[in-house]
Structure formats: C-alpha cells, structure tokens
C-alpha cells in the first residue's frame, strides 16, 4: 500500500509499467466535470471509473481483494477512510473469488485505518485487502485499475 500526495506521484512510476500513464491521467483529471461511470485509458490494462457513493461505518465496510489489478483510489469530494489488512492474514472469506470481476470480500477486521484526502491517492496492490468508502455522508472519487502485468 502507498499513500501520498498527487504532486509526488512521479516517484512511483517505476513500480508498474502503466503507472506513468495512470499518473499523467490523474494530474490532468478534472473529476468535477466527469460523469459517473467507467472509461478505458489503455484498453483493459488501465481503466478507471468515477464513482459517487454513500459512505458507511467501519462495521459495515468489508475488506476486498483483487488479483489481476492494482487499485489507485483518489477521493475528490471529501476525506475517505480505508480499512487495510495484509492478504496473508485473512481468514474469513465471504464466498469464492469472482475471477470475472477480479473481486472477493472478506469478513475479517482491518488491522489499520487510513484517512485519504482530496489531493492524495492511495494504491492497493493484490497483497493489500482494503475496505473502501468509510466515513459519513456521500462522496465522489476516481478509481483506476492498473493491470498487474
């Protein structure tokens, strides 16, 4: 997991061949003018979505994992809290892994909570289980899905 300011994004381009293109996209993004929905940046290897959603309590949020994609999440409207836990320590799956949607939920408790503000981004790798959308009210954010390669 990585948490940093968007202004420092270029420090992370060496972590994945698609990160340079992802961060260029983020720096040019005006999410306030983008409608909610999904879009492609580099075919199926780098895609994104703009999401408006209701935030939930820590007890309602569930940890999720992805195997084929790295998540880069950028809050736009307000602070968002994410739960985090290492994939290696998960014990309580809520069903089988959905390979078509690259997604699985777990009922384990996060071991840490991270606050992410507009102007920052958080990266979750496949070894990072994360519980998004924690807080009060509703929010708007951008999620980029970067192929593990």
- pLDDT, one tens digit per residue, over 106-123 is 999 999 999 999 999 999
d(CA 112, CA 114): 7
Which residue's entry shows tokens 């519980």?
Answer: 131
- What percentage of the chain has pLDDT greater than the value 70? 99
Domain that residue 73 falls in: 2-147
Say which residue, 19 or 77, is predicted with more confidence.
Answer: 19
Q: Looking at the predicted structure, is the pLDDT value of residue 91 above 90?
A: yes
pLDDT at residue 63 greater than cutoff 80: yes
pLDDT of residue 119: 93
Across 31-53, average pLDDT: 90
The model carries a pTM of 0.95
What is the average pLDDT value for the chain, to the nearest integer?
95
Nearest Cα residue to 86 out of 65, 56, 102: 65
CATH at 19: 2.60.120.370
| pLDDT for 3 | 98
Strand partners for 120: 5
**What are the tokens at 59?**
């007890």
The 8-class DSSP code of residue 28 comes to: H
Number of domains composing the chain: 1
Burial of 6 (0-12, 13-18, 19+ CB in 10 A): middle
**Whether the predicted pLDDT of 26 surpasses 90:** no
Query: What pLDDT is attached to residue 71?
Result: 98
Confidence tier at 47 by pLDDT (50, 70, 90) = very high
Task: Answer yes or no: is pLDDT of 43 > 80.
Answer: yes
């Amino acid at each position: 997991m990585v948490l940093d300011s968007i202004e420092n994004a270029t420090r992370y381009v060496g972590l994945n061949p698609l990160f340079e293109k992802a961060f260029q996209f983020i720096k040019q993004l005006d999410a306030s003018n983008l409608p909610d929905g999904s879009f492609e940046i580099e075919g199926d290897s780098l895609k994104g979505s703009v999401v408006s959603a209701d935030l939930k309590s820590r007890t309602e949020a569930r940890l999720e994992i992805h195997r084929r994609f790295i998540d880069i999440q950028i809050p736009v409207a307000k602070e968002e809290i994410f739960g985090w836990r290492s994939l290696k320590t998960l014990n309580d799956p809520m069903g089988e892994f959905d390979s078509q949607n690259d997604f699985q939920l777990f009922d384990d408790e996060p071991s840490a909570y991270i606050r992410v503000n507009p102007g920052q981004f958080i990266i979750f790798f496949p070894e990072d289980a994360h519980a998004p959308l924690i807080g009060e009210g509703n929010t708007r954010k951008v999620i980029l899905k970067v192929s593990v390669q």
